[in-house]
Chain A
């Protein structure tokens, strides 16, 4: 297994069917992919294409990669009826997430004011010419959705066999795992990072988790976090502490986990059950857990 640091998290790559040299070469290819994607789509880099788009005051021509991400984002926005919305960049910044996250770095005594309501549907995309116009109040932030998409692209770089690409807990698991009995995934307890609420066994699946326990900061006496409810333009208020979703792709798992977290237990459960082939582990704020859909639980 090989690791590197990108997108403000540790990326782990393992391909137990490959010899060491081939596995290392794969890890290097994946590291280059992550570097390229981060360079292009970081909200915090002035020279990124996303930074350029977020500053543009007139329609601009975007790259094919950017167009593809925008179209994929739009599909998720429509499928979730706006509960997933990457136009929350301004709301994130207004809530205090205005620089790359580090524990304590975003703490402040107050915030300057609320962001204007912004919706991805306000972004004008002309597919044939790749011309895009973003209204000034809309700031795009692809966040975990982009990380999930990159994990999926990274796993596709493997020549075959068993592959694990794990980006800080958002992972794509190809094949039957190193022992042929499925990949084991520990679902962390959001109230105790040393503890596990369940261990899952996955084959050819992807997994992603949304919770507010890691990326949070203080605004005066209140705690803010990075999971914005686009309907309110502010950090989500929910009865869930964590949502872990197992899906076909990491991108899908990330979006579904985020939406279920924002919707809360009742609506989130109903929403997940309406999607075939999806499994989920919900952790309520009181620490109890709930399994949704079909999941092979190795230990609970």
Chain B
């Protein structure tokens, strides 16, 4: 029976696995990030009250600005007339 010696890569994988297991155990012990409060059950969201997209009275939605398009001079050779077509 030959003795199997761990390679440096295998040793690192074992170490990472052990650290990860320890992290998960510790995370579970402190409440999974929920500050000790249980996660709200899905059933608490009343199906008859869908989220409203309207802001409350007195509020308005602040929107991100849209850049103003760059204005450039038309070529001097372009005639000052319209060419109508479907666009």
**Residues in chain A within 8 A of chain B (CB atoms):** 1-6, 9, 12, 14, 16, 24, 27-28, 31-32, 34-36, 38-39, 47, 52, 55-61, 131, 144, 164, 166-171, 173, 177-178, 183-188, 190, 193, 196, 207-215, 242, 244
Q: How far is the CB of A196 from chain B (nearest CB, A)?
A: 8
Main secondary structure of the interface of B (DSSP, over half): loop
In the bound assembly, the distance between CA atoms of A168 and B83 in angstroms comes to 8
Additional A-B contacts beyond A1-B78, A164-B82 (19; CB < 8 A): A2-B71, A3-B72, A12-B74, A28-B71, A31-B69, A35-B67, A39-B65, A47-B63, A47-B64, A61-B55, A144-B87, A169-B84, A208-B84, A209-B84, A209-B86, A210-B86, A242-B85, A242-B86, A244-B84
In this complex, the interface size class of chain B, counting residues with CB under 8 Å from chain A, is: 20 to 34
B70 within 8 Å of A (CB atoms): yes
**With contact pairs A47-B63, A60-B52, A60-B54 given, residues A1 and B82 touching in the complex (Cβ less than 8 Å):** no
Q: Residue of B at shortest CB range from A298?
A: B81
A-B interface, 5 closest residue pairs, ranked by CB to CB distance from nearest: A168-B87, A211-B86, A39-B66, A188-B85, A169-B84
**With contact pairs A58-B52, A169-B87 given, residues A2 and B81 touching in the complex (Cβ less than 8 Å):** no
In the bound assembly, the distance between CA atoms of A97 and B85 in angstroms comes to 20
Q: Residue of B at shortest CB range from A212?
A: B86
Which A residues lie within 8 Å of B5 (CB)?
A: none
Which B residues lie within 8 Å of A14 (CB)?
A: 80
Which B residues lie within 8 Å of A34 (CB)?
A: 69
Tell me whether B86 and A4 are in contact (CB under 8 A). Answer: no
**With contact pairs A2-B71, A31-B69, A59-B54 given, residues A185 and B64 touching in the complex (Cβ less than 8 Å):** no
In the bound assembly, the distance between CA atoms of A60 and B52 in angstroms comes to 7
Residue-wise interface mask of B (24-66) relative to A, using a CB-CB cutoff of 8 A (1 in contact, 0 not): 0000000000000000000000000010111100000001111
Chain A CB within 10 Å, residue with most, of B67, B74, B86 = B86
Q: Residue of B at shortest CB range from A216?
A: B86
Tell me whether B52 and A187 are in contact (CB under 8 A). Answer: no
Which A residues lie within 8 Å of B65 (CB)?
A: 39
Which A residues lie within 8 Å of B81 (CB)?
A: 183-186
Which B residues lie within 8 Å of A190 (CB)?
A: 85-86
Tell me whether B82 and A173 are in contact (CB under 8 A). Answer: yes
